[in-house]
């Protein structure tokens, strides 16, 4: 058993509050939640454990462990990277150095895809779904969790990202309905798909140096860099998708701020028909652009 920390008054509650104050003073967003997550991780406590154990004193080992995690957060590392896990669509997803931390905005792509399939009565069908640039598998696994008869094909140029996605599928009991393929967007896929989704890299190369340290230093560059105008990935994957969509199939992609018109124009130029205005994220920014290969 380790010695209690020498500070005497380092109770779970006090150290959580003091860590939140340090994170706030350092200008880190979400300081309260981050402090709770880091204390929970260092002490192996869930929310209930933190409430019932609020008055207990930390051991020196626990205090040292927490301080190491705190220093990483104070230096700008996102909590999801420190913990190695992030919740997306209510699903806990493991991360690796090769995967983007899935963002809440990306749930807009999942919502739009489900709306389109459900409006068309397709949700119960044995759909084939492709996710181009799948990363942790976030979008694909969220869709499979909602569509009981669908099979998902996730592609990525990163073998390490695909290993992480495959591990996430196994942890969620979805392995049987997934196939992971290392290739350039849709180039390694065969057959046709009722739904293709993608959240590709879309940051213009020159803008990356100006991003917050949490993104610039901790998300993989291959997940961010969209080329000179940010649209390189869309040029590649939209024309590929037009050839892979089944008749009546949908393409839904995430876009960066101000990119929706250009991406819609690329879809139209590839013979796809927009399915309505882009779906906005919670901040009101057009985020999910969708189109359909019209049934002949």
Ligand X SMILES: C[S@@+](CC[C@H](N)C(=O)[O-])C[C@H]1O[C@@H](n2cnc3c(N)ncnc32)[C@H](O)[C@@H]1O
In the complex, the residues that contact ligand X under the rule CB under 6 A are 100, 102, 106, 133-136, 138-139, 155-158, 161, 184-185, 199-201, 222-223
Q: Is 156 annotated as a binding residue?
A: yes
Q: Helix axis angle, 12-25 relative to 60-74, nearest 10°?
A: 20
Q: Is 202 annotated as a binding residue?
A: yes
Q: Which is nearer to ligand X, 39 or 113 (CB)?
A: 113
To ligand X, the closest distance from the beta carbon of 262 in angstroms equals 17
Kindly report each contact of residues 61-70 with a partner whose C-beta sits within 8 Å and lies 24 or more positions away, as own/partner. 61/2, 62/2, 62/5, 63/5, 63/7, 63/10, 63/15, 66/15, 66/19, 66/38, 66/39, 66/42, 69/38, 69/41, 69/42, 70/19, 70/22, 70/23, 70/38
To ligand X, the closest distance from the beta carbon of 253 in angstroms equals 10
Q: Which is nearer to ligand X, 20 or 138 (CB)?
A: 138
Q: Which is nearer to ligand X, 59 or 163 (CB)?
A: 163
Q: Is 273 annotated as a binding residue?
A: no
To ligand X, the closest distance from the beta carbon of 211 in angstroms equals 13
To ligand X, the closest distance from the beta carbon of 98 in angstroms equals 7
Q: Which is nearer to ligand X, 100 or 195 (CB)?
A: 100
To ligand X, the closest distance from the beta carbon of 8 in angstroms equals 44
- The CA distances from residue 20 to 33, 34, 84, 198, in Å, are 8, 7, 20, 36
Q: Which is nearer to ligand X, 120 or 182 (CB)?
A: 182
φ, ψ for residue 133, nearest 5 deg: 80, 60
Residues 6+ apart with CB under 8 A from 123: 114, 117, 146, 147
Q: Which is nearer to ligand X, 100 or 242 (CB)?
A: 100
Q: Is 136 annotated as a binding residue?
A: yes
Q: Which is nearer to ligand X, 224 or 245 (CB)?
A: 224
To ligand X, the closest distance from the beta carbon of 248 in angstroms equals 24
Six token digits for residue 91? 């699903």
Q: Is 135 annotated as a binding residue?
A: yes
Q: Is 78 annotated as a binding residue?
A: no
Q: Is 185 annotated as a binding residue?
A: no
To ligand X, the closest distance from the beta carbon of 186 in angstroms equals 9
List the binding residues for substrate: 199-202
List the binding residues: 133-137, 156, 199-202
List the binding residues for S-adenosyl-L-methionine: 133-137, 156, 199
């Amino acid at each position: 058993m380790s010695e209690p920390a020498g500070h005497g008054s380092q109770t779970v509650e006090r150290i959580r509050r003091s860590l939140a104050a340090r994170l706030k003073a350092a200008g880190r967003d979400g300081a309260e939640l981050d402090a709770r997550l880091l204390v929970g991780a260092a002490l192996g406590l869930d929310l209930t454990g933190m409430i019932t154990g609020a008055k207990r004193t930390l051991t020196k080992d626990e205090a040292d462990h927490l301080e190491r995690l705190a220093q990483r957060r104070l230096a700008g590392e996102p909590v999801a990277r420190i913990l190695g896990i992030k919740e997306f669509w209510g699903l806990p997803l493991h991360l690796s150095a090769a995967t983007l931390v899935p963002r809440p905005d990306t749930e807009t792509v999942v919502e739009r895809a489900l709306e389109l399939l459900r409006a068309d009565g397709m949700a119960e069908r044995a759909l084939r779904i492709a996710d181009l640039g799948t990363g942790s598998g976030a979008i694909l696994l969220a869709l499979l969790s909602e569509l009981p008869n669908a099979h998902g094909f996730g592609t990525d140029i990163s073998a390490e990202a695909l290993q992480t996605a495959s591990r996430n599928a196994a942890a969620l009991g979805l392995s049987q309905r997934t196939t992971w393929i290392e290739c350039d967007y849709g180039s390694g896929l065969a057959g046709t798909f009722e739904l293709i989704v993608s959240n590709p890299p879309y940051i213009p190369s020159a803008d990356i140096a100006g991003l917050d340290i949490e993104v610039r230093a901790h998300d993989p560059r291959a997940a961010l860099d969209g080329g000179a105008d940010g649209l390189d990935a869309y040029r590649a994957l939209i024309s590929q998708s037009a050839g892979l969509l089944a008749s009546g199939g949908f393409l839904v992609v995430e876009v960066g701020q101000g990119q929706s018109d250009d991406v819609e124009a690329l879809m139209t130029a590839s013979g796809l028909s927009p399915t309505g205005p882009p779906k906005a994220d919670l901040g009101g920014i057009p985020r999910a652009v969708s189109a359909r290969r019209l049934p002949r």
